[in-house]
Amino acid sequence: MSTTTVTKSPADTRGPAAARTAPAAEGRIGLRANLRHIGALARRNALQIKQDPESMFDAVMMPIIFILLFVYVFGGAIAGKGNNDAYVNYVTPGLMAMMGMNIAMAVGVGINDDFKKGVMDRFRTMPIARSSVLIAKIVVEVGRMLIATAILLGMGFLLGLEIHTSVLHLFAAIGLSMVFGASLMWIFILLGLTLKTAQAVQGMAMLVLMPLQFGSSIFAPPTSMPGWLETFTDYNPLSNLADAARSLINGGPVAHSVWMTLGWAALITVVTAPLAVAKFRKKT
């Protein structure tokens, strides 16, 4: 009588935990499949917003409140009484930079919350690129940022905003704001993956937001600031974005501030995006 020896394959000896995560590690995912995964995940995130319209309140109300607040509370003090129209043309491009940073903060909070709900654990067991989950989140948030910017500009036009260049220059300013805002999202995604609670993410985000926003040329010309603060604003990426958007809308030298903004966006993305993807893979 012959005997048959049954040898377990390597897949049988890895245990249930490895078996569950195996599909996600099999082979490389092509560009077309990656784009398809990003599209599907972006649609999932957009449907979440549709089911929870309250999540759009910040994108809808924040630009209205900010432009009314700064034009009518600070406009007279900064531009002089009766010069609110001139201040609208100064502050509106600056607020375009501010919109991106505030929307980016919400991304980190959302990522942290998704991990608490176990949603991200399910995504990590699927045969998709890890980066596609985070990129899909950014795609939808850029859409929210675009809505906030459109509302901001609409309010600006109602308050007296004038385009002294062309519509194409206005679109260029909007596009530049979207590019820089998307790069900032990687920072807050990394914070959302690193810190334990959504409250901690919000607290850390405010520590980042406040000095960058108010130590910039968004609300007032830096020439009125102390020397050390004026130096800080010169290197502040939000100042570069605000100055670029302001020059594109109002006219003036634009090349330096545009290239500085694009340089900052590239640097932030190159440094933080790989760190965020690596943290996403390892986070438990």
Tokens of 263: 């340089």
Name residue 167's amino acid.
V
- Three-class SS string for 176-245? HHHHHHHHHHHHHHHHHHHCCCHHHHHHHHHHHHHHHHHCCCCCCCHHHCCHHHHHHHHHCHHHHHHHHH
pTM above 0.95, yes or no: no
Rounded Cα–Cα distance for residues 111 and 114 (Å): 5
User: What does the alpha-carbon distance between residue 164 and residue 170 come to, in Å, rounded to a whole number?
Assistant: 10
In terms of Cα–Cα distance, which of 62, 152, 150 is closest to 106? Answer: 62
Residues belonging to the chain: 284
Q: Say what the pLDDT of residue 3 is.
A: 46
Confidence of residue 1 (pLDDT cuts 50, 70, 90): very low
Residue 116 to residues 3, 21, 178, 180, 199, Cα–Cα distance (Å)? 52, 19, 28, 28, 13
CA–CA separation, 174 and 167 (whole Å): 11
> What is the spatial distance between Cα 49 and Cα 54, in angstroms, rounded to a whole number?
8
Tens digit of each residue's pLDDT (9 = 90 or more) over 61-97: 999 999 998 888 877 777 666 667 788 999 999 899 8
Kindly report, residue by residue over 14-68, the tens digit of the pLDDT: 444 443 443 444 446 777 777 787 888 888 878 878 887 777 888 889 999 999 9
Tokens of 218: 């968004």
255 contact partners, CB below 8 Å, separation of at least 6: none
Position 210 pLDDT exceeds 60: yes
Task: Identify the residue with better confidence: 274 or 127.
Answer: 274
Q: Which residues contact 117 (CB under 8 A, 6 or more apart)?
A: none
* CA–CA separation, 156 and 152 (whole Å): 6
**pLDDT at position 204:** 87
pLDDT at 273 over 70: yes
Asked if residue 183 lies in contact with residue 101, where contact means CB atoms within 8 angstroms, the answer is: no
- 218-236 confidence digits (pLDDT tens): 888 888 888 888 888 888 9
Quote the CA–CA distance of 43 and 37 in Å, as a whole number. Answer: 10
CA atoms within 13 A on the CB side of 19: 8
pLDDT at 26: 40
Is there a contact between 193 and 112 (Cβ–Cβ < 8 Å)? yes
**pLDDT at position 4:** 44
**DSSP assignments along 120-167, one per residue:** HHHHHTSSS-HHHHHHHHHHHHHHHHHHHHHHHHHHHHHHT---SS-H
Comparing C-alpha atoms, which of 266, 82, 86, 258 is closest to residue 175? 258
Model pLDDT, residue 284: 60
Max Cα separation, the chain? 106
